[in-house]
């Protein structure tokens, strides 16, 4: 009898610990676990989650990160370094790459809180008041630009959505790809970058993901985590092993857009690679803090 009571007590203890652990998880992680039980959450995403006990509507407003589209020589140089042609995804190819991670990151809000805060250009005064920002401030202009980009129509063949929470990112992605997906982040290094621009060489072991559809999610400048997600047809993804000139190894995700015929002819990619729209696939490494979702291979 004593053995049975002890066994039952042990099981009850484990159950209580499990429930306590479950309750301590961020709401967004619980949603991930329920919708995507067989998909590992990348570290770069989990780092953006707020602990369950610290969630509030108080959000620290960040100073703007570099603009998503290059407007200065330095930003143009950084963006150009990420662009290349698909034929160059082969061992031995070298390139300079702005690889340092952004250390100023805004966390995800739980969906119920994010949806309680307006996200519309028609509500801009209310948004600025919520974050105690002056309309003439740099931060206010950054918020305005991000919202306008999210509201702008996509190009032909693009299905776009700005996710203001991890839960909404999951919903958009699974609506396009189903729940059997892989979530890949832009880059993973053995150790933190010690310099901004590094020379990398592609190593043997490039993995081509044989699925020509994907959802790309790009981090945008905002007081809390907002991702510009879009599903683009005819997209190929690669996992590319790299080694730096200093010996540091890394793994990067490269995305190739097969059909660029609907792109703006003034797009930086055409200028850098000296090709015309619709003539050849254009590839790029994902900037840091961005991610790509692809269907799992069968």
Compute how many other C-beta atoms are within 10 angstroms of the C-beta atom of residue 265. 10
Radius of gyration in angstroms for the set of CA atoms belonging to the chain, rounded to a whole number: 21
pLDDT band at 110 (very low <50, low <70, confident <90, very high): very high
Burial of 111 (0-12, 13-18, 19+ CB in 10 A): buried
Half-sphere exposure at residue 88, Cβ-oriented, CA atoms within 13 angstroms: 18
Closest CA to 185 of 66, 285, 77: 285
pLDDT band at 106 (very low <50, low <70, confident <90, very high): confident
Instruction: Decide which of 139 and 78 is more confident.
Output: 139
Q: How far is CA 162 from the centre of its chain?
A: 12
pLDDT at residue 151 in the model:
96
pLDDT band at 210 (very low <50, low <70, confident <90, very high): low
* pLDDT, tens only, 26-50: 899 999 999 999 999 988 898 898 7
The DSSP-derived string for 148-165 is HHHHSPPPTTEEEEEESS
Residues 122, 152: Cα–Cα separation, whole Å = 14
Residues 96, 73: Cα–Cα separation, whole Å = 16
Burial of 58 (0-12, 13-18, 19+ CB in 10 A): exposed
pLDDT at residue 298 in the model:
56
E runs forming strands in the chain: 83-85, 94-98, 158-163, 181-185, 187-189, 197-202, 207-209, 213-220, 226-233, 235-244, 249-257, 282-285, 291-295
Residues 106, 93: Cα–Cα separation, whole Å = 34
Residues 278, 117: Cα–Cα separation, whole Å = 40
Q: Say if pTM beats, i.e. exceeds, 0.75.
A: yes
Burial of 174 (0-12, 13-18, 19+ CB in 10 A): middle
pLDDT (average), residues 157-179:
94
The percentage of residues in the chain with a pLDDT greater than 90, rounded to a whole number, is 40
The DSSP-derived string for 269-284 is HHHHHT--TTSS-EEE
């Amino acid at each position: 009898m004593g053995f049975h009571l002890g066994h039952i007590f042990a099981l009850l203890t484990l159950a209580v610990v499990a429930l306590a652990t479950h309750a301590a998880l961020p709401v967004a992680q619980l949603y991930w676990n329920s919708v995507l039980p067989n998909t590992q959450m990348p570290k770069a995403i989990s780092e953006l989650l707020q602990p369950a006990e610290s969630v509030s509507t108080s959000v620290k407003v960040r100073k703007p990160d570099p603009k998503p589209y290059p407007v200065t020589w330095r930003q143009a140089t950084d963006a150009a370094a990420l662009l290349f042609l698909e034929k160059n995804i082969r061992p031995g190819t070298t390139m300079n790459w702005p690889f340092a991670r952004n250390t100023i990151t805004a966390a995800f809000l739980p969906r119920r809180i994010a949806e309680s805060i307006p996200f519309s250009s028609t509500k801009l005064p209310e948004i600025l008041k919520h974050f105690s920002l002056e309309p003439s401030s740099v931060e206010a202009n950054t918020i305005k630009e991000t919202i306008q980009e999210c509201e702008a129509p996509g190009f032909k063949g693009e299905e776009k959505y700005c996710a203001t929470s991890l839960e909404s990112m999951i919903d958009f992605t699974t609506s396009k790809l189903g729940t059997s997906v892989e979530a890949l982040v832009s880059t993973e290094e053995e150790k933190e970058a010690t310099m901004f621009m590094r020379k990398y060489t592609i190593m043997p072991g490039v993995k081509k993901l044989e699925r020509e559809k994907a959802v790309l999610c790009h981090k945008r400048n905002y007081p809390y985590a907002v991702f510009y997600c879009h599903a683009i047809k005819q997209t190929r993804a690669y996992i590319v092993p790299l080694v730096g000139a200093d010996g540091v190894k890394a793994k990067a995700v490269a995305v190739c857009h097969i059909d660029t015929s609907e792109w703006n002819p003034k797009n930086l990619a055409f200028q850098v690679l000296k090709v015309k729209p619709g003539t050849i696939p254009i590839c790029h490494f994902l900037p840091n803090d961005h991610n790509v979702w692809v269907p799992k291979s069968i």
